[in-house]
Amino acid sequence: MSKSPTKAMRRKSVKPRTDSQRTKEAFLSDLRTRVRIAVDILSHHISQRKLEHLLRLSQGYLSRLRACVSNPSAELVANLAMLCQDPPTRLAELERFWALPAEKWPPPATPATRTARSPHRYYPRKSKGNTP
């Protein structure tokens, strides 16, 4: 009569994580941290529900992100980071954007100015002489 396998024998062997798995986990951890910080900053200026509405997210999604139940996308974290730069101004811009009728978007392009086109403002030309 053979014995049934013990629990330890029935468990699958644990494979060591690869570098790519560790990198992915570190990236997701970084995204989760950044989204928590961003939501905390923005919560001083707008309710989470209204922010979800402005960002076209489902109700409760930001709460799930803060609780680390869901993983945020890099795009969402980037958008939240942009809003955190100047919350009152950026949130007002976002509200104005969604208030525009679709045919009004994109706004008319402004003509480029000479200084905007010139790369030399930021990157001066190198002199052709033999200066050290």
Give the tens place of pLDDT for each residue, 58-75.
Answer: 999 999 999 989 899 999
Examine the pLDDT at 76 and tell me if it is beyond 90. yes
Of 13-17, 42-46, 85-89, the least confident: 13-17
Tokens 């707008």, located at residue: 46
Do 47 and 1 contact (CB within 8 A), yes or no?
A: no
Tokens 């798995």, located at residue: 21
Do 84 and 38 contact (CB within 8 A), yes or no?
A: yes
Do 2 and 42 contact (CB within 8 A), yes or no?
A: no
Output DSSP code: residue 14: P
Q: How far is Cα 96 from Cα 76, in angstroms, rounded to an integer?
A: 19
Q: Which pLDDT band holds residue 20 (cuts at 50, 70, 90)?
A: confident
Q: Which pLDDT band holds residue 50 (cuts at 50, 70, 90)?
A: very high
